[in-house]
Amino acid sequence: MTGNGTRVGVLALQGAFAEHLKALNRLKLSGIEVRRAADLEGLSGLIIPGGESTAIGRLLAEMGLREPILRRVAEGMAVMGTCAGMILLAGETSDYPLEPLGLMDITVRRNAFGRQVDSFETPVAIAALGAMPFPAVFIRAPCIEKVGTAVEALGRLNDGRLVAARQGKLLALAFHPELTRDTRCHGLFVEML
Ligand code: GLN
């Protein structure tokens, strides 16, 4: 909760949720851990962290969170999905055995960088964040293969692969912005609320 009542939740079922809460703290926001449907009430935004997209997907269904998330988004809640979280946001996926939430008109390829390149850090130019490229950490990362007309491409790797996109109040990032000190991605998300 902040002074102006902005409530941001972080899905805390599996993965890097603690690091997202710390990133929000650096922006003077205290995030709310979301584990049950009731935790979603009153949130302006929700962060779906990186981790293991199959584990997060299964737990979402088990905890009865799928429908409540879709309902809250229809009511105007913003969502930022990072890495595994981006897979969950997708309308279509390659290499993902479960049904994603289908919130964004994007096709996401899981483990797009192959097993030989497990993780890497590289600067990504994202005009929406300003002139300085973002130090993006990729860990067994997905990428966006296809976007619909409502989707704004925000950032690409040098080889042209799309790794950041926005559709209305939905923000998809293939990398882990919570693992660097740079809070601009979280700042952009908070501005979208
Ligand atoms: N490869 C993971 C998956 O498919 C995502 C990795 C991550 O979130 N860092 O779930």
- Is residue 33's pLDDT more than 60? yes
In a domain, 73, yes or no: yes
In a domain, 28, yes or no: yes
Average pLDDT, the chain: 96
Catalytic residue status for 152 = no
pLDDT value at position 114?
Answer: 80
Residue with tokens 């926001």, as numbered in its chain:
29
In a domain, 54, yes or no: yes
Region 131-148 average pLDDT: 98
Residue 150 DSSP one-character state? T
In a domain, 2, yes or no: no
Does residue 82 line the site of ligand 1, with CB under 6 A?
no
Expressed in angstroms and rounded, the spacing between residue 51 Cα and the centre of ligand 1 is 5
pLDDT tens per residue, range 45-80: 999 999 999 999 999 999 999 999 999 999 999 999
Catalytic residue, from 83, 143, 185, 186: name it.
Answer: 83
Question: Which domain covers residue 36, as residue numbers?
Answer: 8-192
Rounded to whole angstroms, how far apart are CA atoms 137 and 88?
19
- Is residue 118's pLDDT more than 90? no
Catalytic residue status for 191 = no
In a 3-state reduction of DSSP, which class is residue 175?
coil
In a domain, 17, yes or no: yes
Expressed in angstroms and rounded, the spacing between residue 162 Cα and the centre of ligand 1 is 16
In a domain, 43, yes or no: yes
**188: domain CATH number?**
3.40.50.880
Mutate to test the pocket of ligand 1, among 56, 110, 117, 119 (most ligand atoms within 8 A of CB): 110
Does residue 180 line the site of ligand 1, with CB under 6 A?
no
Q: Are 23 and 178 in contact (CB under 8 A)?
A: yes
Residue 190 DSSP one-character state? H
Phi and psi at 45, nearest 5°, equal -150, 155
How many folded domains does the chain comprise? 1
Does residue 143 line the site of ligand 1, with CB under 6 A?
no
In a domain, 1, yes or no: no
In a domain, 3, yes or no: no
User: What is the helix (H) or strand (E) element at residue 114, kind and residue range?
Assistant: none
Atom of ligand 1 nearest to the CA of 52: 10
Does residue 83 line the site of ligand 1, with CB under 6 A?
yes
pLDDT value at position 116?
Answer: 60
pLDDT value at position 90?
Answer: 98
pLDDT tens per residue, range 145-188: 999 999 999 999 999 999 999 999 999 999 999 999 999 999 99
